[in-house]
Structure 1
């Protein structure tokens, strides 16, 4: 048996940001940045949600709405 932890990989095809029309590095780094931000922001957002619903929702949505698209679109390959 072989065991190991694989690296998450995301591929986005059909984009017009590069000649081969596929992105690999940007979406993968975007996902990793999303996961790291989510580990921190979701518990904080859940705590804030107990007192201020709108603010808590905004905090919990931040990784998906801001972090992932920013990192993914910043790298064209």
Structure 2
């Protein structure tokens, strides 16, 4: 059977010094938004380079950190 990917972030400010839920949910949110935004960003990049780069970078620079930090564990 398939395995569920888990993401760990250790040495954080919580008591157990490791986060599992936040990085894992953040990764899932990253993948979902990347599937949509990377093709859109590639098309926009053909006409406006800087705007296309910002669109393609949004899953990594905006979505993942906000979602991962929303969960304390």
Q: Which TM class, normalised by the smaller chain length?
A: over 0.9
User: Does 2:16 correspond to 1:20?
Assistant: yes
Query: TM-score scaled to structure 1, two decimals?
Result: 0.92
Structure 2 unmatched runs, 5+: none
Q: Greater CA radius of gyration, 1 or 2?
A: 1
Aligned residues: 73
Quote how far apart the aligned CAs of 1:57 are. Answer: 0.1
Root mean square deviation, CA, Å: 0.6
Structure 1 unmatched runs, 5+: none
Alignment partner for residue 9 of structure 1, among 6, 15, 24? 6
| 1:72 paired residue number | 68
Deviations 1:15-46 (A, max 9, x none): 01x11010000000000000000000000000
Query: TM-score scaled to structure 2, two decimals?
Result: 0.97
Runs of 4+ in structure 1 over 2 Å off:
none
Q: Following the alignment from structure 2 to structure 1, what is the Cα–Cα distance between the partners of residues 54 and 21?
A: 27
Quote how far apart the aligned CAs of 1:7 are. Answer: 1.3
